[in-house]
Amino acid sequence: MVKSRLLVTGILVVLFFFIVVPQGTAAQGKDRGKKDGKKAAEFIPGEILVKFKPGVSSLVRQKVHDKFKAKVVKRSTKLGIERVKLPAGAKIAEILEQYRRNSNVEFAEPNYIFHADWTPDDPGYPDQWGLPKINTPQAWDITRGSTTVKVAVVDTGVDLNHPDLQANLVGGYNAINGGSAQDDNGHGTHVAGIIAAVTNNGIGVAGVAPQVKIIPVKVLDANGSGYLSDVAEGIRWAADNGADVINLSLGASVDTYTMREAINYAYNKGVVIVAAAGNDYRGTVNYPAANDHVIGVSATDSEDFLAYFSNIGPQVDVAAPGLNILSTYWYQSSSTYAFLDGTSMATPFVAGLAALIRSQNDSLTPDQVEGKIKAAAVDLGAPGKDDVYGYGRIDAYRALGNPPPGDVWEDNDTAGQAPLLNDGITLNPTFYPAGDQDWFKINTSTGKLVIDVLPSSEADAIVEVYDSGLSLVGQADTTGSGGREHLSLSGLSSGNYYLKIYEAGGNSFSNPYTLAVSTVGDGQENNNVALMASAVTSGQTIYPTLNPAGDEDWFSIYAHEPGDLTVSVQPPSNMDAAIRIYDSNLNRLTTIDSYYEGGSESGTVSLLQGGTYYIQVYDYFNAQSNGSYAFTATYTDTTKPVISNVSDGPDPFLAAHNASNISFTLSEEAFVTVKIYAGSTLVKTLLNNSLRGAGSHSVSWDGTNNLGYRLPDGLYTYKINATDLAGNVADEVSGTIYLDKSIPEISNLRVTPSIFSPVIGDATINYELSEESLVSLIVEDLSGNPVRVLLDNVRQAAGSQNAYWDGNNDSGGRVSDGEYILRVEAVDLRGNPSDAVNASVVVDGTPPGVESIYPADGATSISLNSSIKVIFSEEIDISSLNVSTFTLFAAGTPVSGLVSYDAALKQAVFTPFTSLEENTWYSVVLDGVIKDLAGNSLGQPYTWSFRTADLTSPQTAVVSPVEGSALKDQVTLKASVRDGGGIKEVYFEYSADGSNWMTLPGTAVLREGTVLEGLWEYTWEVTGLPENVYIRVKAIDLGGNTGYSQPVFYQVLQSNEVMVDTGGGEYNFEQGQVKLIIPPDAFASQTRIRVSKVDQNGTVAPPSGYRLVGAVYDFTAETEFNSPVTVVFKYNPEELGDAVEEALKVYYLKPTTNKWEPVGGKVNTVTHTVTVELEHFSQYALLAPEKRYYLATPTRDVYGNSYFNPDNFTNYPYEIYLPNETDPASYRIHTSYTRDTDACAS
């Protein structure tokens, strides 16, 4: 079977130990065989017991007995009790009432008959204190249960072999696994023994209902725990298998549908269900005890106090013994006995009682059984039902329908049984059992009838009066539970009348009610007992009577404070008046009896405290007065009222408050005055002799004066005065309230600077306070989240204040750049909060950057009318931006212009005063001192360069072969191209006549990107060209300008034609190469040589493309020499201009950086040469096209950097010196030739 996951646990055992009761045979208890049914208390008919008060003489005692014609049969000197025999036919109840009313009698009661009640012989019975506590022995005289009544113990099972249980066990079920209902824990066995242990068998213990049967239902395991599903199944099984009562000594803290349905199922089948409240000592009752249709049980000890462990709550219905309870037990497979504690033990006491009630009357419904148990319970704790004991601790004897002791008026359930009451009598019958009706008879000769009934707190009495024919003549039902019913009838015919008194709900109450009957009707009756005392007004004289004989009058008067009470009685002549005065607890304070018949009695007693006081007036001889007497009770208040518990608040009285309340407590009713003073000047009257009752009071002050105007801030005094109704004046009480309706003001909040860099410094916050206050200064982000608490309730004086923020958060870390809110709040020293004041501050700790520039770095072809523009990453401090920090340079010289700035665009513009130079490189420098609004500087200078537009065509020239040369086979053309703006395209063109130009056949356009200048080569087969041809170079620069060289004339040779140099030397033609043979003696330490080719006319051609044979040096390759190479640059001093000869240096253009690097050189002003020794020829690759050399003088730019002066570029000849070689290969010495301004060996 699938189990519910909800776990239900049995009530925990609090105290755990064992005793073994010796087993054996003992004398059987006496069974008087009482018949089941209602049993009244027995007494000797016509006989009573009377005890007189100490000091009463034998003469007075005899006089009292004679009045009733009674005879003393026996007097016990030890007890002081007289056994009195009444005359035949005397009604004991009536005579007892007369004895009791006599002031000389201490008590009078019937002479009850006592029996030797049936007592079990079980040896453990004397330790079972719970059984006599609930009056089980008396109940056993009525019934010990019926074998047809079954109680299901839904628990851990029951020890099926226990000798003290076995005879009373029937059936059984195991809801856990369908097996045996045998107990494996002990708990269920203990519960079963309390209900129905086999009793009077000479062994073990006794049960509450020893003759009923137990059905064991196992739902809890060996640990005392089980599933909700099993418990619910066990309940339903028990209901289906004949259970009259189900005991549930188990529970859980949860209310479940499953449990409720099981409970309702059993209830609807007529089963009485009893469950334990729980052992957690808390104010909530466990389930199922808290469910409807379940009798919830708390536990008590032997003194009728709540057991320390017991749960309580509104679902507790009754209480029962649950501490140190002895019963049957199972332990480690043994049948034994144990003392246990718990509401688990209290519950079977109630279940056993329910079984006795069902045994007595098996037709009762579960609700009726529960009602009898509740009605018979002994009220404990607070009067009536409470959360601790419910309706009280159970009483088995009373629950079986027996009246409580002392109701001597039973049986009077019908008019025919009604006893005759004497006029003026007061008696105490009970509404018992449930549905009880009390009938009484009274004779009136005055035509008046006054009836008063005062029930117990929970009973609702109804009074009906019938005439002798049992016709209804009057009824009283004006109050509810505990209310006094008063019925006064007049104009009645003389004769007998019947009183019917019953409880409105038919409920049973063991506590008696008070009934008083009078036919006098003097306006104060019925007031024969203190409970029905007639309330009188102080100082007022009334005129009651003492009628009939033995009548006494009770009055009450209320004293709200200690004082004096004076009582006076002026009696008629035959009345010997006596007065007794009692406090609220009916403790006698004094007796006034100074005079005999007709003498006025008067006396005063001091009252030590306020409250209700009682006055008893009676005739000393219990005689009937022949007229009314004058009665006056005067209470004099001699105690001045006390003003206490004075407080005020809110104090201080702030702007946020509508009013300040002044509270105080009056000890008694008094006229109260409350006034407000500024110093000694009255400014406001809050109360002026206003009557206020005893207790707590409060008045409000709104901070205004009597004219309604708001008073200035400051300290004010209030004074409270009171005078009671007797004129007693209270001691004045005063206090102070500080009025402060002005809130602090925060003004002139400012942050300097409003944009700040934490790297540079702090932001300063300045503000002014209108008064001394506790200030909080918080930095928040734009979402309102706190970032930094700069001040937290810091006390600051009125006036100017400041604080600082370093840009950090509360963790010490830098906050992100952005806008923040500074919130300042203040609370003055009396608690008035200011309005929050906010200011904005921007944190900027990041240096400004450059987002875009114009022209772009390295841009070319820039318009001559351009302005230079910079957009920064953030707004710039305009004071840091000028022509000194935003500078345009042309060849190191600042360009004049104007700097402007647009803050919205964050754009700075440099506008030159004049147009820019054509085809010129310009550099722009932004100085690092430029700063943003927070003061963060740019740091390093920001530079870039651009070149203006090129409006000049390229300069071109054919360099080689020299004009007039003969061209044969494969020819390499060399051309010089120069342009300041860079070359885009280069063409070689030819023409036969110098006018119609065509591109050389088989060639494409030569493109080299943005090269400023250089040597251009083109090799092709001359076959097909005219015999006489013109060659020119066409160049197009990046600006689209086209330049043409001068045409050069050449002759075109056939492939078998040869032209050699006639300038000297030998030429060998080996393998198609020219060899120069130079004699060995032609070498010096450094031989100046030049390799060239000359035409037939001696014209020198450039040496490019020729090799030296022998010791071969290829000037177009990067072969390294083994020793230095010396290069000599020659110059013309007349062409130096303003340059100083001694300052000349050789520079070369370094390809990797495209910058000019100094090589140095030794200047000879005589020979006008600059000599440089190069250690690695390949490093400088003189003949390579990317190596360029210049002669120039150094100068300095605006930054102090040395650089060459391009204005000193000039065309100088140079010579190459080759190192000595041991092998004088074929060399030819030639003269030097002049290069163009490229100064580049080729």
Dist. CA 505–CA 400, nearest whole Å: 19
Judge contact between 754 and 933, C-beta under 8 A.
Answer: no
Dist. CA 1071–CA 1045, nearest whole Å: 36
Q: What is the DSSP string of 1111-1170?
A: S---TTS-PPPSS-EEEEEE--GGG-TT--GGG-EEEEEETTTTEEEEEE-EEETTTTEE
Judge contact between 556 and 481, C-beta under 8 A.
Answer: no
Beta carbons within 8 Å of 660's beta carbon, 6+ residues apart:
648, 649, 650, 651, 653, 700, 701, 703, 737, 739
SS3 state of residue 710: strand
For residue 116, the number of C-alpha atoms closer than 13 Å in the C-beta half-sphere is: 5
**Within its chain, how far is the Cα of 309 from the centroid?**
33
How close are the terminal C-alpha atoms of the chain, in Å? 110
Pairing of strands 272-276, 295-300: parallel
Dist. CA 802–CA 768, nearest whole Å: 8
How far, CA to CA in Å, does 38 sit from each of 316, 358, 417, 438? 28, 15, 17, 17
Peptide bond into 753 cis (omega under 30): yes
Dist. CA 728–CA 670, nearest whole Å: 9
| Residues shown for the chain | 1242
For residue 1176, the number of C-alpha atoms closer than 13 Å in the C-beta half-sphere is: 4
**Within its chain, how far is the Cα of 844 from the centroid?**
38
Q: Radius of gyration over alpha carbons of the chain, in Å?
A: 66
Reading across the β-sheet that carries 485-489, which strands appear in turn?
Answer: 426-427, 514-518, 449-454, 485-489
E-state strands within 86-157: 105-112, 150-155
Tokens at 1223, concatenated? 């092998």
User: Bridge-partner residues for 1100, per DSSP?
Assistant: 1094
Pairing of strands 837-843, 755-756: parallel
Kindly give the residue spans of alpha helices, DSSP state H, lying in 802-845: none
For residue 545, the number of C-alpha atoms closer than 13 Å in the C-beta half-sphere is: 15
SS3 state of residue 1032: strand
Residues 196-214: b if buried by 16+ CB within 10 A, e if exposed: bbbbbbbbbbbbbbbbbbb
Residues 460-499: b if buried by 16+ CB within 10 A, e if exposed: bbbbbbbeeeeeeebebeeeebebbbbbbbeebeeeebbb
Q: Which residues are catalytic?
A: 155, 187, 344
User: Bridge-partner residues for 1062, per DSSP?
Assistant: none
Dist. CA 1242–CA 1238, nearest whole Å: 10
Peptide bond into 411 cis (omega under 30): yes
State the burial class of residue 243 (Cβ atoms within 10 Å of its Cβ: 0-12, 13-18, 19+): buried
Kindly give the residue spans of alpha helices, DSSP state H, lying in 91-207: 92-101, 130-133, 136-140, 187-196
